[in-house]
Amino acid sequence: MPKIDYLRISLIDKCNFRCQYCMPDGTKLNYVLNQELLTNQEILTLVRDVFIPLGFTKFRLTGGEPLLRQDLVELVGDIARLPETEDLALTTNAFLLADLAQPLYEAGLRRINISLDSLNPETFDQIIGNKGRTRWQQTWEGILTAHQVGFNPLKLNVVIIPGINDTEVLDLAQLSIKRQWHIRFIEFMPIGNPELFGDKAWIDSEELRRQIRQKWGLVESNIQGNGPADVFQIPHAKGTLGFISQMSECFCDRCNRVRLSADGWLRPCLLNETGQIDLKTALRNGADLIQLQAQVERLLLLKSEINFKDRDSGTNGTYTRTMSQIGG
């Protein structure tokens, strides 16, 4: 088991998209009330006084859509200034990024992951649940702005859904050739989407690699990230191609992260809540921070016994909550 030193912090459970794999049509969402969200000061206290003393040095801000959080830039600055912070990143859908990229960069953010599941505006709108004016162009402008501001690496996350965007694999992979962009293909997961997720509703990463290898060739890359992606490269490309294969190639034995939800629950695994801790209530009740450290340390020991394949299950063997409610 690797050293667990990576905390994913969900800042908000709301999102301005309704992606099929995150908030499927018909899903009834009970959003967390604003007063139940962790405040910036509570997040900073947990990071500085609980997680850093336990050896955490890598932090990622997620949602929902974190750019909807009004005090985001301030929080980024607070965490970036901590001397123990070795890596601070953010995951976003980029719809609001054009206006925020420069302030976030000036606050100390250097790494950003952007969800981009299609280069076709109609397919893009279908995936994000948009029925009005297309949102693709504003999202693309957010990506280009982040690139111009200087975010490096700039990662684009692509969830491949059979029958929807699986014909775009080569077009998306091609984005890595002329720009130093890192495209990450993610196998579709059974999270709150039983209608979409059948017996085999994902495409194996090896099949995607086969398509790319047949077109351009494919070699292993010496550029590795903090996460579970297997990283490759089209020969002579400036960027890389990562494959996150949680369905076909379980990587629990390589997982180095835990997740803090927007309302303060610390969970050891995306799809398993065994041993979860309500840190927000403990903080607001004046809990001793050393005692909180001890509770988190026990959860880290428990994490080594948790496996994705043993995940909590719901209707028809799929997970019933949405990704936005868990913290993506």
First to last CA, the chain: 22
For 16-77, give the secondary structure using H, E and C: CCCCCCCCCCCCCCCCCCHHHCCCHHHHHHHHHHHHHHHCCCEEEEECCCHHHCCCHHHHHH
For residue range 68-123, list pLDDT tens digits in order. 999 999 999 999 999 999 999 999 999 999 999 999 999 999 999 999 999 999 99
Mean pLDDT of the region 145-158 = 95
In this prediction, residue 313 carries a pLDDT of 41
Going along the chain from its start, the domains and CATH numbers come out as: 6-326 (3.20.20.70)
Q: So what's the pLDDT on residue 317?
A: 41
Phi and psi at residue 17, to the nearest 5°? -115, 160
pLDDT in tens, 305-321: 665 555 544 333 444 45
The mean-pLDDT minimum among 126-135, 171-180, 260-269 falls in: 126-135
Residues 262-286 have a mean pLDDT of 89
Helix axes of 97-107 and 72-80: crossing angle, nearest 10 degrees: 30
What is the spatial distance between Cα 2 and Cα 257, in angstroms, rounded to a whole number? 10
Q: Is 182 helix (H, G, I), strand (E, B) or coil?
A: strand
CA distances for 21 relative to 38, 117, 286, angstroms: 25, 11, 38
pLDDT in tens, 196-205: 545 557 789 9
Confidence of residue 232 (pLDDT cuts 50, 70, 90): very high
pLDDT at residue 192 greater than cutoff 80 = no
Per-residue pLDDT reduced to its tens digit, 30-67:
778 788 999 999 999 999 999 999 999 999 999 999 99
The candidate with the shortest Cα–Cα distance to 156, out of 197, 184, 119, is 184
Residue-wise pLDDT for 109-126, tens only, equals 999 999 999 999 999 999
pLDDT of residue 320: 46
> What six digits make up the tokens of 209?
């690699």
pLDDT at 166 over 90: yes
Residue 205, helix vs strand vs coil = helix
Q: What is the mean pLDDT of the chain?
A: 87
